[in-house]
Amino acid sequence: MGVWSHEPFGNDTAADWAWGLVESRDLSYVEATLDKVLEQGSQYLETSDAEEAVAAVEVLAKLLGNGTQSDAYTEDLDVWVASQKQVPSVALLQKGQRALERIVSNESELLELWTETDEAEAWKMSIEKLQAAIRI
């Protein structure tokens, strides 16, 4: 896993995911990403799917004015967010919450990987900040 930070866009997978987002015109890309995690139910959740979902939730947070990361890794994303006129629906925010809950539950490879690092607490706090940022 190419990771340099516990933040939502602190990994290669999220950065690659953002390229697809900036090509889209609405939130269907975000919703499809969240659905991919939620449709897996209690099956083992792969790291890449979880990292993309965390990035998608950060987009929702940014659209609400509550983003948790703004730096060189989010520049193109921030331009895309600024160009959007839409506000995430309650249903989409709820999907974001459920996806984050799934990511920090059992059978999550991303949780397992972060638990094995010295940055586990920072990552957990980052997820908690995202949960608060999209709370309805």
Q: At what angle do helices 12-22 and 75-83 cross, to 10 degrees?
A: 30
pLDDT at 44: 97
Measured over the CA atoms of residue 119, residue 124, residue 125 and residue 126, the dihedral's sign is positive
pLDDT at 136: 85
For 79-104, give the secondary structure using H, E and C: HHHHHCCCCCCHHHHHHHHHHHHHHC
User: For residue 33, how many C-alpha atoms fall within 13 Å in the half-sphere facing its CB?
Assistant: 29
Q: What residues make up the domain containing 77? A: 12-133
pLDDT at 105: 94
CB atoms within 10 A of CB 56: 29
Cα gap 130→124, rounded to integer Å: 10
In a domain, 86, yes or no: yes
In a domain, 7, yes or no: no
Across the chain, mean pLDDT equals 96
Total tally of structural domains belonging to the chain: 1
Residue 2: pLDDT band with limits 50, 70, 90: confident
**35-57 per-position pLDDT tens digit:** 999 999 999 999 999 999 999 99
pLDDT at 57: 98
In a domain, 105, yes or no: yes
In a domain, 2, yes or no: no
The answer to whether the predicted template modeling score (pTM) of the entire model surpasses 0.85 is yes
